[in-house]
């Protein structure tokens, strides 16, 4: 068990999660030097629950997802950490084993369905492929499975639409197709990376309802990558808040949103316009996230934090338990409610 894990709430340490990530670190090579995009991230996702990785653009949440599924760009590499599904560390296995695990163990739904689907092949061909490769099914049997799956995710006239190409579907229907491909082999863990981006509100609700239904049906753990606080409040069981490549707070969504223990989490929640009068000034978090080329020695949030003190500038706060099911990377978690 890593030093980070030793300080996590007991429900994260002692449970037998579907996915346990410890100390995940991702470095990116740039023309001006190496930057740390993901910095010793640890979390656990349990079967039957949705864990949200919440944060603004550039915080490292999508980089975390691509590292877990082995799709990092050549300039990026996993520098440290483990990610276990059962007894297998998926970060250390070879390419062949990783391909075998893609689908039955871990799957991902990307945010841009049009680029994730191959435009040169019919959706039927793409949906049947996992059944042929992993289960050795004949073409006819794989096609029948694909039709069944299309119907399950709400594609009308599935047998006829098997012959269609991705561009012939609406954005919402393409997202359903991606979800169908992701759950085809009954994965233990499903990562949904901004699955409702660019969809209208009604379609967003339909997609999230589908994911929730499939989570129960396939008995999966879902890791939801998002910047949308309302989506987290509505759909997630637990949340891990990310900032500048690090997790700064974790816990049950209801508890974290009601009583945040990190100033960044509180700043995010305070910026949501709730019952604001027309013309009222909206709250915002002053400043900007730190440049990844020059991350400060102490707390990553120090330049924007109303609670900043000398210890914050000199010592990086560890993610430590602040209650039975909560953890915060702040030197003054009990003071957060006063800012």
Question: What does the DSSP 8-state code read for residue 46?
Answer: -
- Whether residue 279 is predicted with pLDDT greater than 90 in this model: the reply is no
- Whether residue 8 is predicted with pLDDT greater than 80 in this model: the reply is no
d(CA 171, CA 82): 35
Tokens 């949103």, residue?
Answer: 257
Mean pLDDT of the chain: 91
pLDDT of 9: 54
Give me the architecture of the 3-119+165-273+283-316 domain, per CATH.
3-Layer(aba) Sandwich (3.40)
Instruction: State how far the alpha carbon of 13 is from the alpha carbons of 26, 43, 46, in Å.
Output: 23, 9, 12
What are the pLDDT digits (tens) for 79-113?
999 999 999 999 998 888 888 888 889 999 988 88
pLDDT of 3: 42
Residue that wins the pLDDT comparison between 5 and 155: 155
- The model's pTM: 0.91
pLDDT of 4: 46
What are the pLDDT digits (tens) for 156-195?
999 999 999 999 999 999 999 999 999 999 999 999 999 9
What are the pLDDT digits (tens) for 289-310?
999 998 989 999 999 999 999 9
Half-sphere exposure of 321 (CA within 13 A, CB side): 13
pLDDT of 2: 44
What are the pLDDT digits (tens) for 113-166?
888 899 999 999 999 999 998 888 899 999 999 999 999 999 999 999 999 999
pLDDT of 273: 80
What are the pLDDT digits (tens) for 211-251?
999 999 999 999 999 999 999 999 999 999 999 999 999 99
pLDDT of 281: 76
Share of the chain above pLDDT 70, in %: 94
Per-domain residue ranges of the chain: 3-119+165-273+283-316
3-state class (DSSP) for residue 106: strand
């Amino acid at each position: 068990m890593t030093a980070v894990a030793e300080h996590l709430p007991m429900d994260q340490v002692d449970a037998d999660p579907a996915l346990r990530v410890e100390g995940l670190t991702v470095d990116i090579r740039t023309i001006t030097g190496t930057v740390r995009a993901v910095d010793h991230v640890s979390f656990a996702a349990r079967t039957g629950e949705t864990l949200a990785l919440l944060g603004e653009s550039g915080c490292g949440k999508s980089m975390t997802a691509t590292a877990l599924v082995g799709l990092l760009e050549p300039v990026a590499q996993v520098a440290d950490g483990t990610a276990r599904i059962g007894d297998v560390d998926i970060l250390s296995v070879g390419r062949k084993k990783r391909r075998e695990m893609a689908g039955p163990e871990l799957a991902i739904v990307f945010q841009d369905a049009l680029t994730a689907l191959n435009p040169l092949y019919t959706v039927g061909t793409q949906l049947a492929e996992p059944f042929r490769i992993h289960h050795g099914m004949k073409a006819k049997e794989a096609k029948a499975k694909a039709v069944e799956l299309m119907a399950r995710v709400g594609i009308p006239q599935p047998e006829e639409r098997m012959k269609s190409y991705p561009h012939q579907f609406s954005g919402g229907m393409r997202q359903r197709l991606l979800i169908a491909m992701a759950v085809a082999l009954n994965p233990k863990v499903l990562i949904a990376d901004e699955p409702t981006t660019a969809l209208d509100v009604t379609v967003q609700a339909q997609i999230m309802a589908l994911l929730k239904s499939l989570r129960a049906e396939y008995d999966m753990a879902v890791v939801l990558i998002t910047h949308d606080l309302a989506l987290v409040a509505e759909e997630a069981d637990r949340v891990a808040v990310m900032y500048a490549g690090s997790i700064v707070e974790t816990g049950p969504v209801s508890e974290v949103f009601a009583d945040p223990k990190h100033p960044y989490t509180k700043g995010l929640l305070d910026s949501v316009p709730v019952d604001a009068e027309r013309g009222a000034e909206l709250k915002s978090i002053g400043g900007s996230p730190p440049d990844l080329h020059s991350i400060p020695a102490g707390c990553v949030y120090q330049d924007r934090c109303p609670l900043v003190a000398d210890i914050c500038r000199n010592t990086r706060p560890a993610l430590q338990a602040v209650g039975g099911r909560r953890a915060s990377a702040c030197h003054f978690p009990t003071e957060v409610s006063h800012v």
